[in-house]
Amino acid sequence: MESLFKTIVIIGKYASGSDSTGIQSQLLELAQHLTQKKINIFIESKTHHSGKFEAFKSIDLEDVGKEADLAIVVGGDGTMLGVARALVNFDIPLIGINQGRFGFLADLNTSNMLESIDEIFVGSSYKDKRMLLNSKIFRGSKCIHESLALNDVVVRSGSRLIELKVSINGRFLHKQRSDGLVITTPTGTTAYALSAGGPILHPELEAISIVPISPHTLSNRPIAVSSKSVIEIDVVDMDESYLSVDGQLKVPLELHDRVEIKSAEKMITLLHPKDYCYFEMLRKKLNWG
């Protein structure tokens, strides 16, 4: 059966210190397999530069939306997060192949990736829509930074406790002294928020979770609010603090800065094999019985 996708870009983990030999062989195997199916293949430019992919065309990540109708990401959740943010405006579905040891987004395994991808290509797939967060930092009345997050936005202290005032839709929630706050999508509830004691939210829930990090008052508990909510965090007292986006972007904060967080207008689409089950994934990843 003919593939539903005509042009595909392959993106790999190319950071120094990664198992470059292993991932290059997997990327090459994948590219050759797709070429045999008469699919037009691009290799993302930094990935292309990191390996021996001379037989394939190179493309910059910012140009993927103009050429491709699917992106396959080989690496892990960190690679998936960066690619998802970069491609969110192009409505290109993503397939994640987990080359690492632990992954919630990149769920295909390198050992059976070709069989799984073939199934997806002929329409035997599960479309998984995921929300993102839009975060802005205001210094006075001026917005000094804006970014998107698929997992979470974290307001974090440096070395000492930070005092934050939190409001939801203009209504005061609380002030708290803690190591910070994790504001997370359902996707991100299995990341930093989970280790901070937050709940796991199913990806289909339209909700945002607010999770304190080591609060000074033990009665400060995680809370989930509607995805339509606007969350405002004012930095009331601090020695040093910063805003972290998906653990990949880090922006220093100053006293009296205000962080505004709400759901982004656009979502990303992940493609899984048709028999994908979120609860089975949780059992495997978290070693549940």
Q: What is the CATH number of the domain that holds 14?
A: 3.40.50.10330
Q: Over the range 76-114, which residues count as b (16 or more CB within 10 Å of their CB) and which as e? A: bbbbbbbbbbbbbebebbbbbbbbeeebbbbbbebeebe
On whether the CB atoms of residues 256 and 235 are closer than 8 A, the answer is: yes
Cα pseudo-dihedral 206, 208, 209, 213, rounded to 10: 160
In a domain, 238, yes or no: yes
Looking at the fold, whether 162 and 126 belong to one and the same domain comes out as no
Q: What is the pLDDT of residue 124?
A: 86
Residues spanned by the domain of 32:
7-131+267-286
Mean pLDDT, the chain, rounded, equals 92
In a domain, 99, yes or no: yes
In a domain, 116, yes or no: yes
Looking at the fold, whether 200 and 187 belong to one and the same domain comes out as yes
Looking at the fold, whether 97 and 182 belong to one and the same domain comes out as no
Q: What are phi and psi of 139, to 5 degrees?
A: -115, 105
Containing 258, the helix (H) or strand (E) segment is strand 258-263
Tens digit of pLDDT for each residue in 240-250?
999 999 999 99
Q: What is the pLDDT of residue 52?
A: 80
Task: Give the pairing of strands 7-12 and 40-44.
Answer: parallel
In a domain, 66, yes or no: yes
Tens digit of pLDDT for each residue in 153-170?
999 998 899 999 999 999
One-letter amino acid for residue 99 of the chain: Q
Looking at the fold, whether 152 and 227 belong to one and the same domain comes out as yes
Candidates 19, 60, 63, 77; catalytic one: 77
In a domain, 1, yes or no: no
Looking at the fold, whether 188 and 258 belong to one and the same domain comes out as yes
Q: What is the pLDDT of residue 123?
A: 85
3-state secondary structure at position 212: strand
Looking at the fold, whether 142 and 233 belong to one and the same domain comes out as yes
Q: How many CB atoms lie within 10 A of CB 264?
A: 18
Q: Is the pLDDT of residue 146 over 70?
A: yes
Looking at the fold, whether 159 and 272 belong to one and the same domain comes out as no
Looking at the fold, whether 198 and 229 belong to one and the same domain comes out as yes
In a domain, 2, yes or no: no
Residue 33 and residue 252: Cα distance in Å, rounded? Answer: 45
On whether the CB atoms of residues 243 and 155 are closer than 8 A, the answer is: yes
Tens digit of pLDDT for each residue in 203-220?
999 999 999 999 999 889
Tens digit of pLDDT for each residue in 91-123?
899 999 987 666 799 888 888 899 999 999 888
Q: What is the pLDDT of residue 16?
A: 44
In a domain, 206, yes or no: yes
Looking at the fold, whether 161 and 84 belong to one and the same domain comes out as no
Task: Give the pairing of strands 162-168 and 152-157.
Answer: unpaired
Q: Give the CATH number of the domain where residue 178 resides.
A: 2.60.200.30
Percent of the chain with pLDDT over 70: 95
Percent of the chain with pLDDT over 90: 79
State yes or no: is 77 an active-site residue: yes
Q: Which residues contact 43 (CB under 8 A, 6 or more apart)?
A: 9, 10, 27, 31, 53, 56, 57, 58, 59
| Structural domain count of the chain | 2
Task: Give the pairing of strands 70-75 and 241-245.
Answer: unpaired
Looking at the fold, whether 259 and 278 belong to one and the same domain comes out as no
In a domain, 256, yes or no: yes
Looking at the fold, whether 25 and 87 belong to one and the same domain comes out as yes
Residue 97 and residue 106: Cα distance in Å, rounded? Answer: 5
Worst-scoring range by mean pLDDT, 12-21, 176-185, 266-275? 12-21
Burial label, 65 (beta-carbon count in 10 A; 0-12, 13-18, 19+)? middle
Query: What is the mean predicted confidence (pLDDT) over 15-43?
Result: 80
Looking at the fold, whether 197 and 221 belong to one and the same domain comes out as yes
